[in-house]
Amino acid sequence: MRIRALLAVTALAATTALAGCSGDTGGLTTDTTQAGDTSVTEAPQAERAPAPACNPRASLRPAATLPTPGDMPAGSYMEEIQKRGRLVLGTSQDTLLFSSRNPFTGQIEGFDVDMGRQIAEAIFGDADKIQIKVIAYDKRVSSAADGSVDIVADTMTANCDRWRDVNFSSIYYEAGQKVLVSKDSKAKSIEDLGGKKVCSAAGSTSFENIGKVRSKPVAVAKPAFGDCLVAFQRNEVDGISTDDTILAGMAAQDPYAKVIGDKFTEEPYAMAMSNKHPEFARFVNAVLERNRADGTWKSTYERWLGDFGAAPAPPKAQYK
Structural domain count of the chain: 2
* pLDDT of res. 245: 84
* pLDDT of res. 45: 45
pLDDT tens string 275-305: 999 999 999 999 999 999 999 999 999 999 9
Pairing type for strands 173-175 and 267-269 reads antiparallel
DSSP 185-196: ----SGGGGTTS
Contact 227, 38 (CB under 8 A): yes
- Residue 195 belongs to a domain: yes
Last residue of a domain, one of 260, 278, 299: 260
- Residue 145 belongs to a domain: yes
pLDDT surpasses 70 at 25: no
- Residue 285 belongs to a domain: yes
* pLDDT of res. 274: 98
Last residue of a domain, one of 239, 260, 281: 260
- Residue 11 belongs to a domain: no
Last residue of a domain, one of 260, 280, 300: 260
List b or e across 32-60, with b for residues whose CB sees 16 or more CB atoms inside 10 angstroms: beebeebeeeebeeeeeeeeeeeebbbbb
- Find the CATH number of the domain harbouring 93: 3.40.190.10
- Residue 87 belongs to a domain: yes
DSSP secondary structure letter of residue 13: H
- Residue 198 belongs to a domain: yes
Mean residue pLDDT of the chain comes to 87
- Whether residue 159 is found in the same domain as residue 181: no
- Whether residue 85 is found in the same domain as residue 168: yes
- Whether residue 184 is found in the same domain as residue 160: no
* pLDDT of res. 9: 38
199: phi then psi, degrees, rounded to nearest 5: -95, 145
- Going by pLDDT thresholds of 50, 70 and 90, the confidence category of residue 307 is confident
- Whether residue 102 is found in the same domain as residue 115: yes
* pLDDT of res. 37: 34
- Going by pLDDT thresholds of 50, 70 and 90, the confidence category of residue 308 is confident
- Residue 9 belongs to a domain: no
- Whether residue 221 is found in the same domain as residue 237: yes
- Whether residue 80 is found in the same domain as residue 207: no
- Whether residue 161 is found in the same domain as residue 234: no
Q: Which of the residue ranges 142-146, 158-162, 194-198, 242-246 would you say has the lowest mean pLDDT?
A: 242-246
- Whether residue 25 is found in the same domain as residue 150: yes
pLDDT surpasses 80 at 183: yes
Q: Does the pTM exceed 0.85?
A: no
DSSP secondary structure letter of residue 41: B
* pLDDT of res. 287: 98
Compute the distance between CA of residue 319 and CA of residue 311 in angstroms, rounded to an integer. 24
- Whether residue 143 is found in the same domain as residue 87: yes
- Whether residue 86 is found in the same domain as residue 231: no
- Whether residue 163 is found in the same domain as residue 275: yes
- Residue 50 belongs to a domain: no
Helix residue ranges per DSSP H, the chain: 2-20, 77-84, 111-124, 140-145, 160-163, 205-210, 225-233, 244-253, 278-294, 296-305
Domain that holds residue 148: 21-35+60-174+268-311
DSSP secondary structure letter of residue 306: G
- Whether residue 64 is found in the same domain as residue 189: no
